[in-house]
Structure 1
Amino acid sequence: MSGINKQKIVESVPQKGFFGHPKGLFTLFFTEFWERFSYYGMRAILVYYMYYEVSKGGLGMEESTALAIMSIYGSLVYMSGIIGGWLADRIFGTQKAIFYGGILIMLGHIVLAVPGNVALFFVSMVLIVLGTGLLKPNVSSVVGDIYATDDDRRDAGFSIFYMGINLGGFLAPLIVGSVMGISFHLGFAFAAIGMFFGLVMFVLTKKKNLGLAGTYVANPLTPDEKKKVFTQIGIGIIIIAILIAVAVPTGYLTIESFINLVAILGIIIPTLYFIVMYRSPKTSAEERSRVIAYIPLFISAVMFWSIQEQGATILANYADKRTQLEFAGMTISPAWFQSLNPLFIIILAPVFAGLWVKLGNRQPSIPKKFALGLLFAGLSFLVILLPAYLGGTDSLVNPLWLVLSYFIVVLGELCLSPVGLSATTKLAPAAFSAQTMSLWFLASAAAQALNAQLVKFYSPETEMVYFGAIGGASIVLSIILFAISPKIQSLMKGVK
């Protein structure tokens, strides 16, 4: 850190000014609010843009291909966070990572806002994936920098920050979804404007509000390392460019083969993480036991996120094709359903936090909370198959069924997601603390890589089997996790 320590960073940040929190929280709250507005606004209409006919302003892709691409896109966003974290830690620091990431995201949305073809669409996806990988993990890191380690406001600060994420995620689909019928490109323009506002907010207030937070490079490359790393990156880019130039014309690299490649990486990368952590001489015997305990939790998280993330793919398609959108005298945009998840989180997160505090030592163990998360996730899919069971697959479904499905999966998310973040920090081997947090986010990447394969089996004809099989699998896994939770708890070596 070149003479910059944690205490100096905290002292450089005005410690009062945003609801009793450091002023820097104001900057980070609104930067993340606008970034999430941008991301979730674009995501709410992206799958429709892909499969709507060209005459309706879309790209005219096959529905199954569009759903698979949407899943792979989500997987790559989470994978790219590993690269973004490394670049911030070793090369240019978190503040610059946030700024560069915001620029790339905005450019990606601008490309989408310009009427174009499939090639331009993929250019925009690359820009947004790289930009989100730079911004998303690093803005959270700076939140941690502005508080002293023993600051009692720290957890509340992260809760306020988390609220900014969900407010952006709630408002964006409502606004962008409202203009979807006019033009997809207008909707993407709103997303670009949102990211622009976030960048302006960040640039204008960072110096005054953030002080030294995020300005340092935590583990900078030495001059020799820089030369070696930049050479390797350059060679890697050249090799990838050559492979693409050869594989595309010869037919080896197609959309389908790329989807399969990312799906394989989604499984291989976390598997390698576990092997390296377990076998490392830096990992003690007690830490190895905790790594073993983390494996079933990770698998459960993959199953949960596989269902939860289908809210932007399968359930988005269900909202568009199977749901009665004329309801209570108004016309509902199918994109509006994407606002339900953040809305329910905003309402229920304080309830769950209060519940765990009230239960104290009587609250369920970490594995049992994960099992509850899987149970609710499975039930959310069983609920959505009931309309087809009761009324067939030919008639349109009351939108309240979809609302209920989103509500139930949020109950599961609040049992599993914040608990998983906390458990990851506690179970991580000391030598792999940052990498283990990356591993937690790779559960979402693996889940969406899995979804890219699963969504191929969905159609109105297979609807009941699809929801029933995946929902049932989640519930079975929940029961197994409940049964083995005492064993997992013992392997956690005192972590509760």
Structure 2
Amino acid sequence: MSDINRQKIVDSVPQKGFFGHPKGLFTLFFTEFWERFSYYGMRAILIYYMYYEVSKGGLGIEESTALAIMSIYGSLVYMSGVIGGWLADRVFGTSRALFYGGILIMIGHIVLSLPGDLTMLFISMVFIVIGTGLLKPNVSSVVGDMYAPEDNRRDAGFSIFYMGINLGAFLSPLIVGQVAKTSFHLGFGIAAVGMLLGLIVFVVTKKKNLGLAGSFVPNPLSPAEKKKYSLIVGITVVALAVILGTTIPAGIFTLNVFITLVGIFGITIPTIYFIVMYRSPKTTATERSRILAYIPLFIASVMFWAIQEQGSTILAAYADKRTDLEFAGLTISPAWFQSLNPLFIIVLAPVFAWMWVKLGDRQPTVPKKFALSLFFAGLSFMVILLPAYFGGDNTLVNPLWLVLSYFIVVLGELLLSPVGLSATTKLAPAAFSAQTMSLWFLSSAAAQAINAQIVKFYSAETEMMYFGTIGGVAILLSLILFVISPKIQEFMKGIR
């Protein structure tokens, strides 16, 4: 997009109207609030819906299989963001991609709200994965479109927007989790209503508040490219239909095979990204050095998210089966624990932001922050094995142990997530800036793909071994990363 077009977009957006920020921030804040309300509300109860017995309103899937499906689901959501970003850049524009994504998410939740079987579950997941891939990366791009590059309100605007994400993620498990006690399908229905409200906010206020933001297609396909990619997509769809149509009835393409394939893709796609960027003639010697520095940071990110994302799988099952849900005169829904992560982020994010400003040049380097984040991730798993160590695996655990585990991993998240986003923009080769940001999000996809393979080893009998092994590996990696952080810093060539 040329500077002229960029300035034209900025000029088309009312620049005051939402806490001193562009009026469009109101539109995107509440669109994303309701989208996250919808997504996290659904996710808070989905694992229970899968493994609860049919008599309790669930699908009766084996717990280990349900945990693996949840992990694969999360991995595919992050992978689909790469496709969603490409479609916005080349075909739809970010605004339309956002709208189409919201519709698909809502349809997915409506499918879940209807009584059905495993096939209906997978159909809903397809809609939600594609929809989230279209919406999630592009709504942030529209936020950026509203600010001129030199506008010093930009960072504060993203902070307000980020607060909307976490408010939606905080409230939805509390509401949907309570409703799901009556009916899982009613809970999914509320998630669908949440996405509908987000779409209504977007459609009603878009024209007045967003102006031209998100309306441009930055790098539209030429007629020749349209023909080429249409042919590729058509051949791919037909090939997949033939392969699946023959292998599924024959019992060759099973759920376990699919889980394995996603695991392979989760590792190979980022690897290919690194190789292509490093070997590209467009990458300078300095940029190659920074790519080498980025590799251990990426690996640390994968390890961190592999633990953090188990908050919606292993720890969700732990909350349901191992935790005493009668506490302080209240009957707690296990889904409520999913609100802890966004709650702690809302409370602690301003503290961390203040701390980095206060420390200035004395703050830890990026590699050391990553090392500390891994240490906290490992510690969060070490904490959760203590109840079984002291009380055995047959007693119900005080819920405060689970609260403490979520709290500790959030400390790590605030050391890694915003720092990683910032470091990615600084270390990215100029010719691959957007793709490097996609690579950062693929660390979460890789983590979830790995989780799909390892969650099957969790059970009440292996609980201490499971948490201890994964937590111990994370702490060991954090120590290694801390030791080699000066060398990584050298390869970063002046980036702090």
Q: Normalised by the shorter chain, which TM-score bucket?
A: over 0.9
Residues of 1 paired with 2:186 and 2:237: CA distance?
34
Q: C-alpha displacement at 1:247, in angstroms?
A: 1.0
Residues of 2 paired with 1:125 and 1:254: CA distance?
17
Number of the residue aligned with 2:87: 87
Equivalent residue runs for 1:303-322 within 5 Å = 303-322=303-322
Equivalent residue of 1:461, what SS? coil
Equivalent residue of 2:475, what SS? helix
Q: For residues 425-472 of structure 1, give each alpha carbon's deviation from its aligned partner in whole angstroms, at most 9, with x where no partner exists.
A: 000000000000000000000000000011010000000000000000
2:105 is the counterpart of 1:117: no
Number of the residue aligned with 1:211: 211
Q: For residues 406-426 of structure 1, give each alpha carbon's deviation from its aligned partner in whole angstroms, at most 9, with x where no partner exists.
A: 000000000010000000000
Q: For residues 3-51 of structure 1, give each alpha carbon's deviation from its aligned partner in whole angstroms, at most 9, with x where no partner exists.
A: 9611111000000000000001000000000000000000000000000
Number of the residue aligned with 2:278: 278
2:418 is the counterpart of 1:418: yes
Residues of 2 paired with 1:360 and 1:369: CA distance?
14
Equivalent residue of 2:93, what SS? helix
Number of the residue aligned with 1:486: 486
Q: For residues 119-152 of structure 1, give each alpha carbon's deviation from its aligned partner in whole angstroms, at most 9, with x where no partner exists.
A: 1110000000000000000000001000010111
Which residue identity does 1:228 align to in structure 2?
A: K
Q: C-alpha displacement at 1:253, in angstroms?
A: 1.0
Which residue identity does 2:148 align to in structure 1?
A: A
Number of the residue aligned with 1:333: 333
Q: C-alpha displacement at 1:302, in angstroms?
A: 0.2
Which residue identity does 2:127 align to in structure 1?
A: L
Which residue identity does 1:49 align to in structure 2?
A: Y
Residues of 2 paired with 1:49 and 1:396: CA distance?
22
Which residue identity does 1:21 align to in structure 2?
A: H
Equivalent residue runs for 1:345-494 within 5 Å = 345-494=345-494
Q: For residues 380-403 of structure 1, give each alpha carbon's deviation from its aligned partner in whole angstroms, at most 9, with x where no partner exists.
A: 000000000000000000000000
Residues of 1 paired with 2:73 and 2:469: CA distance?
24
Contact 1:4 1:216 in 2 (8 A): no
2:177 is the counterpart of 1:177: yes
Q: For residues 140-192 of structure 1, give each alpha carbon's deviation from its aligned partner in whole angstroms, at most 9, with x where no partner exists.
A: 00010000101110000000000000000000000000011100000000000
Equivalent residue of 1:490, what SS? helix
Equivalent residue of 2:108, what SS? helix
Contact 1:306 1:444 in 2 (8 A): yes
Equivalent residue of 1:35, what SS? helix
Contact 1:90 1:219 in 2 (8 A): yes
Number of the residue aligned with 2:147: 147
Q: C-alpha displacement at 1:252, in angstroms?
A: 1.3
Counting aligned pairs with the same residue, the percent is 77
Q: 1:3 to 1:436 in 2, by over 3 A?
A: closer
Q: 1:2 to 1:481 in 2, by over 3 A?
A: closer
Structure 2 residue runs of 5 or longer lacking an equivalent are none
Which residue identity does 2:102 align to in structure 1?
A: G
> What is the TM-score normalised by the length of structure 1?
0.99
Contact 1:393 1:460 in 2 (8 A): yes
Contact 1:81 1:132 in 2 (8 A): yes
Which residue identity does 2:141 align to in structure 1?
A: S
Equivalent residue of 1:250, what SS? coil
2:49 is the counterpart of 1:53: no
Number of the residue aligned with 2:247: 247
Residues of 1 paired with 2:247 and 2:204: CA distance?
45
Number of the residue aligned with 1:220: 220
Residues of 1 paired with 2:86 and 2:237: CA distance?
17
Structure 1 residue runs of 5 or longer lacking an equivalent are none
Q: For residues 229-263 of structure 1, give each alpha carbon's deviation from its aligned partner in whole angstroms, at most 9, with x where no partner exists.
A: 11111111111111110110111111111001001
Q: 1:486 to 1:3 in 2, by over 3 A?
A: closer
Equivalent residue of 1:249, what SS? coil
Equivalent residue of 1:466, what SS? helix
Residues of 2 paired with 1:298 and 1:56: CA distance?
41
Equivalent residue runs for 1:156-175 within 5 Å = 156-175=156-175
Which residue identity does 1:310 align to in structure 2?
A: Q
Q: For residues 64-100 of structure 1, give each alpha carbon's deviation from its aligned partner in whole angstroms, at most 9, with x where no partner exists.
A: 0000000000000000000000000000100000000
Number of the residue aligned with 1:65: 65
Residues of 2 paired with 1:218 and 1:298: CA distance?
28
- Stretches (4+) displaced over 3 A: 1-4
Number of aligned residues: 496
Q: 1:239 to 1:4 in 2, by over 3 A?
A: farther
Contact 1:75 1:445 in 2 (8 A): yes
Number of the residue aligned with 1:342: 342
Equivalent residue of 1:460, what SS? coil
